[in-house]
Chains A and B, each alone.
Chain A
């Protein structure tokens, strides 16, 4: 008997954000290998085992409803990277991105790209429930952003100074170099200080704030820091002009 319509339909698999994030981590930037196993209830032909010669009225073939299944190993197939990324996009995974980050080029381009990559990783870790790991990754971003500015503006990294001190010094230089944008440096230093404190491990000991909430704020704060930093880098692409007096090679002793 022929079908009126092709028996062509689909099975559907519900996935949560966490499922998608874990798959995104597990694929390691490669194609996605999947395994599908199926079982089914089916109508199949059934041959009666033995037909007595004296009962020819019994049908020689019957139908029964039974369970069928694969051999237990399923089937493996590959979703190409582009296909998987489209599934993520169509599934709405991208809509939960925190911000659209600016793109910086120039001397700091590679370091900036690394910061963006780490922030993306922190976002994925946060979505997959790895709160502490996400905070640690955010910390790596915060530690890297000062180097981005120092490279972009051609400033030498002062030795023996902590990163918060370097960020404050950077803010001072920015304020001096851009008189029409003098608060940009203050905002940068303020954001930096907040992100530095919030991503420090000491800050979270004994906290009554749920760990996931703290991690979510840490990733958001880091994204805000990167957003502001990216805007500054785009607005001021040229190196800061410094003179030897303003940037002593020693500790200030003449």
Chain B
């Protein structure tokens, strides 16, 4: 089974895909938190060029679990920086 894939594009991009984000669904994990848990959704983005190249800098979104209502607000995915791990500083503890 292929991994679920999202295609991200500019609003003015006339439908052209700028980035492909592949979710590694079988590798989703959960860790306990004080009042629930934290789901961790591993993903990879292409292109992913370092420096001034084409790359995602930060992603956010929403996740709807087990409910298909169109107006379901889902669970917010807070901003996550998507920089190479080499560049992750101490302040990026929420990253992978």
Which B residues lie at the A interface, using CB under 8 A? 4-11, 13, 18-19, 21, 23, 25-26, 28-33, 35-45, 48-68, 74-78, 80-86, 94-96
Secondary structure at the A interface, as helix, strand, loop or mixed, is: strand
- A13 lies within 8 A of B18 (CB): no
User: Which residues of chain B are within 8 angstroms of A234 by Cβ–Cβ distance?
Assistant: none
Asked if A35 lies at the interface with its beta carbon under 8 angstroms from chain B, I say yes
What is the CB-to-nearest-CB distance from B42 to chain A, in angstroms, rounded to a whole number? 5
20 additional A-B residue pairs with CB within 8 Å, beyond A6-B84, A32-B65: A7-B50, A20-B37, A23-B65, A33-B68, A34-B64, A35-B74, A38-B77, A39-B60, A42-B55, A44-B18, A69-B9, A70-B7, A75-B4, A75-B23, A77-B23, A79-B28, A87-B39, A91-B30, A91-B38, A92-B32
* Residue of A13, A14, A26 touching B41 (CB-CB under 8 A): A13
- A9 lies within 8 A of B43 (CB): yes
Secondary structure at the B interface, as helix, strand, loop or mixed, is: strand
* Residue of A18, A67, A83, A90 touching B10 (CB-CB under 8 A): A67
With both beta carbons as reference points, the residue of chain A lying nearest to B26 in the complex is identified as A83
With the chains together, A40 CA to B78 CA distance in Å?
A: 11
* Residue of A3, A17, A34, A83 touching B63 (CB-CB under 8 A): A34
Chain A positions 1-47 with a Cβ under 8 Å from a chain B Cβ: 1-20, 22-23, 26-27, 32-45
User: Which residues of chain A are within 8 angstroms of B85 by Cβ–Cβ distance?
Assistant: 5, 9
User: Which residues of chain B are within 8 angstroms of A37 by Cβ–Cβ distance?
Assistant: 6, 61-63, 74
With the chains together, A39 CA to B61 CA distance in Å?
A: 6
